[in-house]
């Protein structure tokens, strides 16, 4: 006489590779993919249907519930795979974008001014709020202030300025590395933060940190999200 399988049998025992079939054999399956779990579930379901007691058949609601749960497992793994592909695709696009920036000028957080004697150099200041003006103090390699610039009626956000490469007396300064700081005069009682931005050449791209980093002319690394302007 054929033995019956209780309609309350737990399908997850087979899903985990620990269930016994109607003949008493045990098969351990280590495939944890959505397809593998679904295959084991369907095998168990067929076994249950074949061996069920005709006088006490399996409850339809139980079958529906089990199938809904296995569908959720399959759907979540499919979604996870799709998200991983999306992340990889995004990383590839960022890498390609970063590579195209080599040789271009990028406006990034920093206070460096690389002066070539006889020419001007550009910098920028990001203001956190409304200001009546802001003052730029330019310093040489020794930290001595060589010139100051005042920009009237700036806008909130990024404001660029050009320095002619001359000192406060109008004398042309030599080629070299200079720095600057900025201070804003608030248009209200709220203090305004003035953040310096430097215009630097992109010389290389690095992936050492797991995401594309632009290597600037002065050797510093800058993430793509920190580039305010590209030219």
Residue 68: pLDDT over 70? yes
Q: Tokens at residue 192, please?
A: 């305004």
Query: Cα(119)–Cα(98) distance, rounded to whole angstroms?
Result: 29
pLDDT over 80 at 52, yes or no: no
pLDDT of 29 reads: 54
Distance CA 20, CA 26 (A): 5
d(CA 209, CA 215): 12
pLDDT score, position 5: 43
Q: Which residue has the higher pLDDT, 127 or 218?
A: 127
Span of 84-98, 167-181, 209-223 with lowest mean pLDDT: 84-98
Check pLDDT > 90 for residue 75: no
Using the predicted structure, report yes or no on whether residue 17 has a pLDDT greater than 50.
no
Give the CATH number of the domain where residue 135 resides.
2.60.40.4070
Contact 106, 200 (CB under 8 A): yes
Domain-embedded: residue 4: no
Classify 36 as helix, strand or coil.
helix
pLDDT at 153: 93
Q: Within a domain: residue 179?
A: yes
Question: Is there a single domain that holds both residue 192 and residue 116?
Answer: yes
The pLDDT assigned to 103 comes to 86
Per-residue pLDDT, 22:
45
- Higher pLDDT among residues 71 and 33, named by residue: 71
Residue with tokens 């040789």: 103
Confidence band for 8, pLDDT divided at 50, 70 and 90 = very low
Residue range 52-68: average pLDDT? 70
Same domain, yes or no: 176 and 115:
yes
Domain co-membership, 61 together with 89? yes
Does 24 score more than 50 pLDDT? Answer: no
How far, in Å, are 57, 61, 107, 110, 215 from residue 220 at the CA level? 72, 63, 13, 10, 6
Percent of the chain with pLDDT over 70: 74
**pLDDT higher than 60, residue 16:** no
Q: What is the mean pLDDT of the chain?
A: 80
214 φ, ψ (degrees, to nearest 5): -80, 130
Domain final position from 32, 62, 97: 97
Residue of 162, 158, 172, 176 whose CA lies nearest to 226: 158
The verdict on 73 and 151 lying in the same domain is no
Task: Provide the token pair at 228.
Answer: 């305010």
What is the C-alpha separation between 53 and 112, in angstroms, rounded? 83
Question: Which token pair is 25?
Answer: 């054999």
Q: Distance (Å, rounded) from C-alpha 203 to C-alpha 102?
A: 5
Q: Which pLDDT belongs to residue 20? A: 46
Structural domains of the chain, count: 2
pLDDT (tens digit, 9 = 90+) per residue, 127-170?
999 999 999 999 999 999 999 999 999 999 999 999 999 999 99
* Structure confidence at residue 32 (pLDDT): 63
In tens, the pLDDT along 194-203 reads 999 998 889 9
215 alpha carbon, distance to own chain's centre: 18
Range of the domain at 167: 105-230
Of 62, 97, 132, the residue at which a domain comes to its end is 97
The residue from 35, 70, 97 where one domain ends is: 97
C-beta separation of 122 from 199 below 8 A: yes
Distances (CA, A) of 19 to 44, 58, 97, 98, 129: 9, 18, 52, 53, 67
Place of tokens 């460096």: 112
Q: Which of 56, 58, 76 is nearest to 68 (CA)?
A: 76
């Amino acid at each position: 006489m054929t033995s019956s399988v209780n309609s309350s049998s737990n399908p997850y025992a087979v899903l985990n590779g620990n269930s016994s079939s109607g003949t008493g054999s045990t098969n351990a399956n280590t495939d944890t993919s959505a397809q593998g779990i679904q295959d084991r579930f369907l095998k168990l379901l067929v076994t249950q249907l074949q061996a069920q007691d005709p006088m006490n058949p399996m409850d339809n609601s139980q079958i529906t519930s089990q199938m809904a749960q296995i569908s959720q497992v399959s759907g979540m793994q499919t979604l996870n795979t799709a998200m991983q592909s999306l992340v990889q695709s995004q990383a590839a696009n960022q890498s390609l974008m970063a590579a195209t920036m080599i040789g271009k000028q990028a406006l990034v957080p920093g206070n460096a001014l690389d002066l070539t004697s006889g020419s001007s150099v550009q910098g920028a200041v990001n203001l956190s709020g409304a200001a009546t003006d802001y003052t730029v103090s330019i310093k040489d390699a020794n930290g001595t202030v060589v010139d100051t610039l005042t920009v009237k009626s700036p806008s909130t956000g990024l404001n660029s300025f050009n320095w002619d490469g001359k000192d406060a007396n109008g004398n042309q300064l030599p080629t070299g590395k200079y720095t600057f700081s900025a201070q804003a005069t608030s248009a209200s009682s709220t203090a305004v933060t003035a953040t310096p931005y430097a215009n630097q050449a992109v010389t290389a791209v690095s992936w050492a940190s797991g995401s594309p980093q632009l290597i600037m002319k002065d050797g510093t690394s800058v993430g793509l999200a920190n580039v305010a302007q590209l030219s």
